[in-house]
Amino acid sequence: MTMLSVNVNKIAVLRNSRGGSEPDVSRAAAVCLQAGAGGITIHPRPDQRHIRYGDARALSTLCAARAEFNIEGNGFAPPREGYPGLLALVADTQPTQCTLVPDSDAQITSDHGFDLAADAARLKPLVASLKVHRCRVSLFVDADCQDIERAAEIGADRVEIYTGPFAEAFLQGDYARELDACVRTAERAQRAGLGVNAGHDLSQANLAAFKAAMPQLAEVSIGHALIGEALYEGLATTVRNYLQILR
């Protein structure tokens, strides 16, 4: 079965908007795991707009020997006060997986994958440095990535397909072309020996169609839609709804 990793960034956004410790990120993550989620994802930003260093350490402890822990981030963003840098964060928290994403500080959310032809030379040593800490490494890629095989050459274990364009097309009612691009990319990645993850704007509305077309899908990372839906149905119920779709 495709694993569901719940991104808890939005819980931290809500907490930080008020200050203090509520809602509690670790408590929310524990509810997700108790409901059956296989993992927790975070994407700490250098500006600490949501997930913070202390959250990463607490979630690492929560997930240890219980669930997968996935840290997303830009490995080239320099450390700054309160943010030690992605490599140092991985060294300290020992995640199951590190997903490298080519985002900048100014981006509200990730909106594109790596250009593997242009970025290969600098990605390869970064991937090697991450693997010293025995974590699986995934690279965020676009569905129409023309050089997907380079991810394997760089040393990555998986790719995560950016599903934003598919989700947007699904809303418009004409998504066949975007879905086909995701499927073709996944098939090429699999032939290259890579595992396939996916994420961004996946929801209860569009996940069934996506999953049905991609039997090789190893993991989906879902946060924004899931947390939004949980406001109406409750967090545990929403996690169980996603797991039923994936089954």
Per DSSP, the three-state class of 62 is helix
Torsional sign, CA 128, 134, 136, 140: negative
Distance of CA 216 to CAs 21, 110, 121, 137, Å?
A: 39, 24, 28, 18
Cβ–Cβ under 8 Å, residues 107 and 166: no
Listing DSSP states for 83-138 in one string gives B--HHHHHHHH--SEEEE----TT-SS------HHHHHHHHHHHHHHHHTTT-EEE
Q: Which of 72, 160, 178, 229 is catalytic?
A: 72
Q: Which of 160, 200, 219, 229 is catalytic?
A: 200
The H or E element containing residue 48 is none
Instruction: Kindly provide the residue ranges of all beta strands, DSSP E only, lying in the chain, ordered along the sequence.
Output: 3-7, 39-42, 68-73, 97-100, 136-141, 158-162, 195-199, 217-222
Cβ–Cβ under 8 Å, residues 3 and 11: no
Q: Is 133 marked active-site?
A: no
Residue 137 pairs with which residues in a beta bridge? 98
Q: Is 168 marked active-site?
A: no
Q: Is 153 marked active-site?
A: no
Q: Which of 43, 50, 178, 219 is catalytic?
A: 43
Positions annotated as catalytic residues are 43, 72, 200
